[in-house]
């Protein structure tokens, strides 16, 4: 089943369903990810901003999704790819709308999202990673379906919603890590109400205190993510000036 939408950094020019140079570059990154993770089934969902008629935007969003599908197939992705178009009905959920201009917000809305139908099983990659002899591997896994300040799934359009499937993904990833011999105690496997900022920081500090030079630290997060304007140096987000963020169980959209 679908475990929720995942933002893809593939944006489109106003009124267009064609990939520009930046879009091609980002779509290639997505194709490489899908090929390396052997995803078998997914849905590409197109979106538009609110400018134009509802009928036009619905058609445009579907054409954007089809563009990405055809690109992925041309790059060798063999997964079963479904397409869907939402038009303007599902605007992006931004942490703080006040920091964006109207055009910036609309540019973010002209996007595609990916809904995956099965967890990406990481056990194979974890088992074959080469690590120095004697080096340790430490893990932390976080999964959030239930958000303290969000609406139950599925929420009305425009409302921040809980998820279905993120905890299931986290459980599978944690099991894979443990089978691979990675150090993952219960205090670093955080789901739902335990997946809050304080518990994450406590687990992170304990883990990094144990790690030595040459060790490997693996952190997995399944849940909502967002974007916010880059505010700290070095300012290295040259493409869009935005940093990606993750949202823990106690994330409060009224006080981000």
Tens-level pLDDT at each residue, the chain (256 residues): 333 444 455 889 999 999 988 888 888 888 887 887 667 788 888 999 999 999 999 999 999 999 999 999 999 999 889 899 999 998 876 656 676 788 888 988 898 887 754 433 333 333 334 444 457 889 999 999 999 988 887 777 667 788 888 998 899 888 888 877 789 999 999 999 999 999 999 999 999 999 888 888 999 999 998 777 777 666 555 566 777 788 999 998 887 6
Residue for token pair 């489109």: 12
- Fold of the 6-116 domain: 60s Ribosomal Protein L30; Chain: A; (3.30.1330)
Cα(214)–Cα(233) distance, rounded to whole angstroms? 27
Q: What is the CA radius of gyration of the chain?
A: 19
What are φ and ψ of residue 167, in 5° steps? -65, -40
Domain ranges of the chain: 6-116, 137-246
H/E stretch holding 115: strand 111-116
Q: Which among 59, 55, 117 has a CA at the least distance from the CA of 84?
A: 59
Q: What is the pTM of this model?
A: 0.51
């Amino acid at each position: 089943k679908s475990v929720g939408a995942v933002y893809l950094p593939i944006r489109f020019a106003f009124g267009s369903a064609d990939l520009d140079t930046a879009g091609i570059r980002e779509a290639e990154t997505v194709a490489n990810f899908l090929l390396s993770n052997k995803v078998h089934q997914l849905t590409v969902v197109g979106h538009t901003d609110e400018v134009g008629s509802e009928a036009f935007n619905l058609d445009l969003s579907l054409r954007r999704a089809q563009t990405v599908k055809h690109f992925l197939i041309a790059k060798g992705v063999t997964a079963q790819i479904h397409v869907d178009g939402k038009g303007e009905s599902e605007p992006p959920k931004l942490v703080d709308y006040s920091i964006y201009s109207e055009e910036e917000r609309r540019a973010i809305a002209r996007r595609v999202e990916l809904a995956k139908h099965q967890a990406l099983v990481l056990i194979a990659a974890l088992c074959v990673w080469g690590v120095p002899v004697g080096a340790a591997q430490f893990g932390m896994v976080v999964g959030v379906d239930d958000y303290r300040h969000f609406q139950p799934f599925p929420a009305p359009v425009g409302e921040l919603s809980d998820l279905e499937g993120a905890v299931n993904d986290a459980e599978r990833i944690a099991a894979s890590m443990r089978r691979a011999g990675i150090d993952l105690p219960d205090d670093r496997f955080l789901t739902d109400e335990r997946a809050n900022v304080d518990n994450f920081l406590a687990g992170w500090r304990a883990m990094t205190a144990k790690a030595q030079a040459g060790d490997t630290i693996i952190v997995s997060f399944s849940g909502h993510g967002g974007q916010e304007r880059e505010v700290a140096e070095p300012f290295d987000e040259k493409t869009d000036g935005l940093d990606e963020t993750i949202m823990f169980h106690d994330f409060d959209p009224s006080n981000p």
